[in-house]
Amino acid sequence: MKRALVATLVGTLVIGLTQTVASASVKPGAVCKNVGQINTTAGKRYICVKKGTKLLWSKGVAVKSTAPTPKPTLEPLPRFEDNYKASLASLEQCRLRETQNISGAGPKGFPIRSIAGLPQTGELKIAIIPVDFANAPGPGVPGDTYAKDLTEIVEWGKFFTRSKLNYKPELVSKTWVRAPKNAEWYVCLYCQKGAKSELQPIGTALQEIISLVDPKYDFTGVKFVYFVFPLKAERDFGTSLYFHRVDIQTAEGNQTIAAYGEMGGFSNPNNPNDPAFSRIKIWDHLIHELLHFQGFVGHGVINGSDLNIMTNQWGASSAVTSWEGFLAGWYDEADINCIDKSKLTNSVYVTMSSIDQMGDKPISTMIRLSDEELIVIEKRQNGRYSDFKQSQWFPNMNNFTAYSVNVNKAQYRNDADPDSESKNFWQSIRENGKVPIVKSVTYKGITIEVVGENQVKITSS
């Protein structure tokens, strides 16, 4: 008796929560009873949505049979029918031009520029050189340690750029390349990575290493050189190399490259779980630094947080911001909704895919406020390169977030300043001081209200 009662209650709860109907057939546009009610019939799935003052069945979405293999996870269905397309502006309207406070840190707005002259799309050949020293020998075998990193660099590029950028990394040597001098001879004094003096010009230090590997490596087409140094070299001697654009001499002739080498050893990491200490992977750090060279300002919206690869390359998420991906030419009309505030005469409903999952819905909604400012809305959750279960900042994140971008405000970064974000050109739009939007936020007359797991309602007052 008790077992039967429990079964009845559970069944009632399930029906009440899911509002799923499978027996009665429906027609698109016909009246339904409850918002969110789902009907699966004749191979299609329908949802009851609110349209104006009426509750109507949506257009059917084809549902594949679950046999013989399990059905893939589907994105949650929207609770309301999307009606934002009448409010869309051309994507050009969201390409805000940067005309003031231009700095060497990189562009805040369009057009993107790379001081290093590196492309944001197409092919980009990368040479990775593991270098050690007599007074700072390298551990392990780089060819084994970093084999997976080569694959990750390629796959990350394809995933977040919609295959518009093709990184081509190559490990120059599978073993450590022993430099002809000790570690203290290969330092960048102005980089402030721990070195107290330069025993030789940094350009000479670079060329010595290039000449060492040149006989066994073809530098043709290389645009970026990434050096891997042992922790001891960086920590004890300040070993580091940094060039936005420099000429090197190779057997293939004169080559112009950008170069980077250091992984934070100067900060004296001592935790074996710290990637700067263990150095068992390099792909995420390499991409972080390479994106800077390609024109990403990065370090925002909240520097140090684990929201994306440019705020913390070793954080919970290695995603990018849709704003900088947009700047780089990775995203188009299929990925970005550009809405002009002046066209928001009525509330609009927008369903989005998470930028962490790069689904088939838009991954970003941008609301143009003026010639120099807009709002960016993104959905954040676990994805291929995001695991918010591990996040120290936003544990189990499955929320919308929003931030403002003012392309003519000064770029400001001071990690010692607790008010650094408020002085920067982009800022998080918080709900009661918190980044994840649970209910709603309002910024300059625009209210963003969460109405479903992947859907927001946008209203202009």
- Indicate the SS3 state at residue 54: strand
Q: Which whole-number Å values give the CA distances from 369 to 298, 344, 348, in the listed order?
A: 22, 11, 16
Same domain? For 93 and 171 the reply is no
Extract the tokens encoding 135: 């007074």
The answer to whether the beta carbons of residues 153 and 126 sit under 8 Å apart is yes
What's the whole-model pTM score?
0.84
What values do phi and psi take at 236, rounded to 5? -95, -25
260, 369, 374, 364: which is closest to 320 by C-alpha?
364
pLDDT tens for the chain, 461 residues: list them. Answer: 333 333 333 343 333 334 444 445 678 888 888 776 777 777 777 777 777 778 888 877 665 444 444 444 556 767 899 999 999 999 999 999 999 999 888 999 999 999 999 999 999 999 999 999 999 999 999 999 999 999 999 999 999 999 999 999 999 999 999 999 999 999 999 888 888 899 999 999 999 999 999 999 999 999 999 999 999 999 999 999 999 999 999 999 999 999 999 999 888 888 888 889 999 999 999 999 999 999 999 999 999 999 999 999 999 999 999 999 999 999 999 999 999 999 999 999 999 999 999 999 999 999 999 999 999 999 999 999 999 999 999 999 999 999 999 999 999 999 889 999 999 999 999 999 999 999 999 999 999 999 999 999 999 99
Domain holding 25, by residue range, is 16-74
Domain final residue pick, 230, 261, 294: 294
**Are 284 and 359 found together in one domain?**
no
Residue recorded with tokens 């009662």: 5
Clarify whether residues 141 and 284 are in a common domain: yes
Q: Write down the pLDDT at residue 442.
A: 98
Number of domains in the chain: 3
Position 80 in a domain: no
Q: For residues 263 and 344, state if they share a domain.
A: no
Provide the 8-state DSSP code for 182: -
Does one domain contain both 65 and 150? Answer: no
415 domain residue, yes or no: yes
